Amino acid sequence: MVILVSFFTHPETALWVNGRIFVSDIGEFNKRDGKVYLRKGRSWEVYASYLRDPKGLAYCKGVLYVADVDRIWAVKDKSAVFLLVGPKEFKAEFLNGLVCYMGRKLYVSDTYGNAIYEVDIRSRKVKKVLEVEKPNGLSVDVKGNLYIITFTKPGRILRWNGNKLDTLLVSEDISGGDGIVYDPETRSILASGYESGKVIHLTPDMKYIVIAKGLRTPAGIGFDGKTVYIPLLEEGKLIKKRIR
């Protein structure tokens, strides 16, 4: 594993988008010092600032969306931050995982509210679509199946097809389930356990291997098709591991 950068305060989510890496940094909890950083080439720059505790990131049609406690921000350009939805549209306790589907809607998890919401980007309408115990990271495949990892002990990986919720894996290796990425190329899943200190690779036949262990608080992972990007929240670091 390679350390990419170690200047963050509390990095929570890494998101790879077309050769660029976004990282949300909570900063000090409950203060408006949260930031989103962008890596271009070998340099880092602040992409959005004065956020509260930014966590999940999603990118849709040139817009970066950020889950931040009880609201979702839209960042249309560097430092151009707009409120998409917030307390006026719905009541959330701890927005966390975030993913975009088909460029027109977002799914967001409310970990301590035990709920997953769907947000229509154009109309800004919000509706609860699932009740799940401590949902955290989210990912989606091309068919619209939603993958969920839970911040539980043991951690669980779930799949929701819009009607049925299936349990794919229950394991201590992902205790405190945090990040999850669906890889369409191999139809496999990468997932991190915040409390277990591990990252696993789950194959389509529901067998998994541990690809990283001994980590301190691995959070919302990113993936570029070859390399996993792992924020270590309590260490202030972003590390990477090539898996193929």
pLDDT band at 1 (very low <50, low <70, confident <90, very high): confident
pLDDT digits (tens, 9 = 90+) for 158-206: 999 999 999 999 999 999 999 999 999 999 999 999 999 999 999 999 9
Task: For the domain made up of 2-242, give the CATH fold.
Answer: Neuraminidase (2.120.10)
pLDDT score at 65: 98
The string of pLDDT tens digits covering residues 73-121 is 999 877 689 999 999 999 999 999 999 998 899 999 999 999 999 999 9
pLDDT bucket at 153, cuts 50 / 70 / 90: very high
Cβ atoms < 10 Å from Cβ of 80? 11
**What would the pLDDT profile of 34-82 be if each residue is shown by its tens digit?**
999 999 778 899 999 999 999 999 999 999 999 999 999 999 877 689 9
Percent of the chain with pLDDT over 90: 91
- Closest-CA residue to 8 (of 29, 32, 25, 21): 25
pLDDT at residue 134 is higher than 90? yes
- Look at residue 189 in the predicted model and tell me its pLDDT: 98
Q: Chain centroid to CA 218: how far?
A: 11
Q: Can you give the pTM of this predicted structure?
A: 0.96
Q: Is the pLDDT of residue 212 over 80?
A: yes
| pLDDT on residue 129 | 97
Determine the pLDDT at residue 43.
87
Per-chain mean pLDDT for the chain: 96
- Residue 2 scores a pLDDT above 90: no
Q: 80 vs 10, which has greater pLDDT?
A: 10
Which pLDDT score is estimated for 80?
A: 82
Task: Please state the domain extents for the chain.
Answer: 2-242
Mean pLDDT in residue range 204-230: 97
